[in-house]
Amino acid sequence: MSTNTFDLVVIGSGPAGYVGAIRASQLGLKVALIEKFNHLGGTCLNVGCIPTKALLESAKTWDKLGHANEQGFEIGSPKFSWNKIMGRKDKIVDDQRKGLRFLMKKNKIETFEGHGRIAGKGKVSVTHSDGKVTSLETRNIMIATGSRVRELPFAKSNHKGIMTSDDVLFIQEVPKSMAIIGGGVVGVEFASLFGRFGCQVTVIEMAPQILPFEDEETAKELTRCLKKQNVIIETNTKLTSIQDKGSAGVEVMTEGNQPRIFEKVLVSIGREPVTDDIGLNTVGISTERGVIKVDLATYKTTIDGIYAVGDVIPTPMLAHTGSAEAYHCAEVIAGKKPHKVHYESNPSAVYTYPEVASIGQTEKQLKEKNISYKVGKFPFSPMAKAKIEDSTDGFVKILFEPKYNEILGVHIVHARATEMIAEFSLNKVLEGTLDEIAHTIHPHPTLSETIMEAAHAGLGGAVHL
């Protein structure tokens, strides 16, 4: 049995779990990693961030090909093979899975395939697919079991007409029409994907705007751009029923509307933590709507030696957030005293066309909290590089407090927004202000100049408008 004794057992191998496992191992701990699915990497690598972004990149290329004539390329009318597009996505995922296997080996992390459950303090059981159980003894446990798609109780996925994001990643062909229930991050990304490949998409959102947690202007700009991608957005719209009528399609009813038929319906109403069958009851850890409460300085649960990170705790359900938490948590377990995860700098990223990236507060939130603020905003349209890259949609909008110009929120909408937001995250971590952004020389010509211009605009001295 002694070989199954560890300093740390990590349950779940997603971007939180595997990062925590590697960091702990780097710090000299003997680490085991448990994964119940066939592949390491969790939602992010297998049915989340990576495959969706691979497909969205193909949509971007397809879009470019559609405009190739304008740039002087005479390629006739381009065609795509959905099969090959999916194949490319699968290969990227597979490569990353292999990379992850290698990282585990390199860091001497013992991986166990099966369903991990806490079996008491310092005890974890792994139930393998053949029903056999392996018992592990450990000084510490890191729960990183992640999340799964939330489903509508009255319209569960049947993997045919009614789908979740897990199913739609393996869809055989681009449907002619699709209703997307929920205009959150997942919903709008798939809308932008299938819309660009020719599917007539209808996004049905209950809230007054798509991306309800983003700034109002962001939602407005994205709505405007999605309309050009075969996407109809219906906000303030309540769903009443969904019925799969087989070959006739799926019937969707919304309040105050006639029933409509779509070839496919994607239900993307959010995600929920996976905590119901991981043995929390054996040690007395309670959850609130599935969420585990932890101390955000150490990620300790109410039970000594048991930690939780990533989607199972009440912080943003984002891969990079989970990774940061797990890295930090591993250092705590190894006895280091790391500085707290800096949630204020935590960026969100949406990979539609154009992309959306943000940190901090929205204008609405600032108004609700009665915080006084100023706005520095600059569009991409006058910028040379945006024209060169044929991506003039979007803007950089900076919200800052007027006394010291401390940055309160940043909202970027642009084809490459996600690559630009980190400048602001760093600014937040270093407690910079708008002045440092404005006084930083940005290379010309780049898209990032727009950031500097938005800062200048906030201080009253934008140049290129």
List active site positions.
444
Pair of tokens at residue 21: 């496992």
Give backbone dihedrals phi and psi of 378, rounded to 5 degrees, phi first: -145, 130
Binding site for other proteins (CB under 8 A): 339, 403-406, 430-433, 435-436
Closer CB to other proteins, 102 or 404, in the complex: 404
Find the shortest distance in angstroms from Cβ 460 to other proteins.
17
Find the shortest distance in angstroms from Cβ 438 to other proteins.
12
289 CB burial (10 A radius; 0-12, 13-18, 19+): exposed
Q: In sequence order, what E strands does 186-230 have?
A: 200-204
Find the shortest distance in angstroms from Cβ 297 to other proteins.
12
Pair of tokens at residue 345: 């700098």
Closer CB to other proteins, 308 or 438, in the complex: 438
Find the shortest distance in angstroms from Cβ 146 to other proteins.
30
Asked if residue 136 lies in contact with residue 305, where contact means CB atoms within 8 angstroms, the answer is no
Q: What is the CA radius of gyration of the chain?
A: 23
The residues, any chain, with a CB within 8 Å of residue 382's CB and separated by 6 or more, are 464, 465
How far, in Å, are 353, 378, 392, 449 from residue 382 at the CA level?
19, 9, 8, 11
Find the shortest distance in angstroms from Cβ 403 to other proteins.
8
Closer CB to other proteins, 300 or 428, in the complex: 428
Closer CB to other proteins, 391 or 405, in the complex: 405
Asked if residue 215 lies in contact with residue 373, where contact means CB atoms within 8 angstroms, the answer is no
Closer CB to other proteins, 308 or 410, in the complex: 410
139 CB burial (10 A radius; 0-12, 13-18, 19+): middle
Find the shortest distance in angstroms from Cβ 435 to other proteins.
7
Task: From 129, 125, 127, 147, select the one nearest 138 (Cα to Cα).
Answer: 125
What distance in Å separates the CA atoms of residue 274 and residue 284, rounded to the nearest whole number? 17
Closer CB to other proteins, 216 or 435, in the complex: 435
- Residue whose tokens read 């005479």: 74
E strand or H helix that includes residue 166: helix 165-168
Closer CB to other proteins, 79 or 339, in the complex: 339
Pair of tokens at residue 272: 């929920």
Find the shortest distance in angstroms from Cβ 433 to other proteins.
5
Task: From 188, 213, 214, select the one nearest 201 (Cα to Cα).
Answer: 188
Assign 132 to helix, strand or coil. Answer: coil
